[in-house]
Amino acid sequence: MEVPKKIVWLASYPKSGNTWMRAFLSALLNNGEVDINKMVTKTIFSSRDFFSEYTDIDSTYLTDKEAKQLQPEVFNYLAITDKSEKIFIKVHDAYTLNQFNKPIIPTESTFCAIYIIRNPLDIVASLANHTQISINKAVHSLVDDDYCWCAQNGNINTDIQFRQYLSNWSYHVNSWTLYAPFPVYLIKYEDMVVDTFNTFKKVVKSIEADKFNDREILKAIDAAGFAKLQEQELTSGFKENFTPKTLPFFRKGAINNWREELDVEQASSIINAHKKIMLKYNYC
């Protein structure tokens, strides 16, 4: 059976603006309304519940290698059976190959990927807040070749998500922007902040959502404004926030806030490790 190319991957290193992008798309596709607990994304690539729903397999009995062999087929099957014109899937995994040298992200069902990149210096404090670790540990995470989220040993476990292999920040960026065999549209978080309309309009064009005019795009941008997302989290909570309730998911969203949150040694560690890619994207 032919697999339709309808999946749009919303890919990013964690804490790079993926949630804001999903909120915008949710508002765009819902007449300017967005509920942060009911966003447009079908699922996250690493979801065990989604995997079990489509395979009828208890994923806790699978190793990470076994899961990565089956996950591409799950999303190909989703593309065949789902009636949506486009399917939006969040993903934090680096673009890598499984044990049989096949991409974990299926090419057959992929329309394109939107890769959101953010200055790694600004990621550090946000990552520390989200994962409840120190700034120093967050710095180490961004330079760690073996860094991953969830199910870190790759063996039988009951985590709600499969292991997400991230590697270091530069590797993650290159894996998606240099090696993926389908169209990848890179969006800078900083452009989302300082040139919001043109940046989100670029996203709309990338996913070929030509039916939306400038007024509708502006309406979606307003609905997904950072302050409004913060207000929703304050009043209704956010199911994706696994930190204590006193620590918000939507924290600051600022540019160059690292100057107030990192010391010289911490900033130097990030720059020394990622200078080549940071220079490429004007981050240093």
**Is there a contact between 27 and 224 (Cβ–Cβ < 8 Å)?**
yes
pLDDT one-digit tens code per residue, 13-42: 999 999 899 999 999 998 888 887 888 888
How much is the pLDDT for 156? 42
pLDDT at position 154 over 50: no
pTM: 0.90
pLDDT one-digit tens code per residue, 241-262: 555 455 555 556 678 899 999 9
The correct answer on CATH 3.40.470.10 for the domain covering 7-280 is no
pLDDT at position 203 over 80: yes
- Mean pLDDT to the nearest integer, 171-190: 97
Partner residues linked to 8 by β-bridges:
88, 112
How much is the pLDDT for 249? 56
Place of tokens 């942060």: 36
**Is there a contact between 185 and 114 (Cβ–Cβ < 8 Å)?**
yes
Q: Give 3-state DSSP helix, strand, coil % of the chain, rounded to 5.
A: 45, 10, 45
**Is there a contact between 184 and 115 (Cβ–Cβ < 8 Å)?**
yes
Percent share of the chain, pLDDT over 90: 69
As a whole number of Å, the CA-based R_g of the chain is: 18
* Domain extents in the chain: 7-280
| Whole-angstrom distance, CA of residue 238 vs CA of residue 73 | 30
* Token pair belonging to 28: 């765009």
| Whole-angstrom distance, CA of residue 252 vs CA of residue 54 | 37
pLDDT one-digit tens code per residue, 48-89: 999 999 899 988 888 889 999 999 999 999 999 999 999 999
How high is the mean pLDDT of the chain?
A: 89
pLDDT at position 201 over 90: yes
Sign of the alpha-carbon dihedral angle for 224, 226, 228, 230: positive
Burial of 172 (0-12, 13-18, 19+ CB in 10 A): buried
Burial of 254 (0-12, 13-18, 19+ CB in 10 A): middle
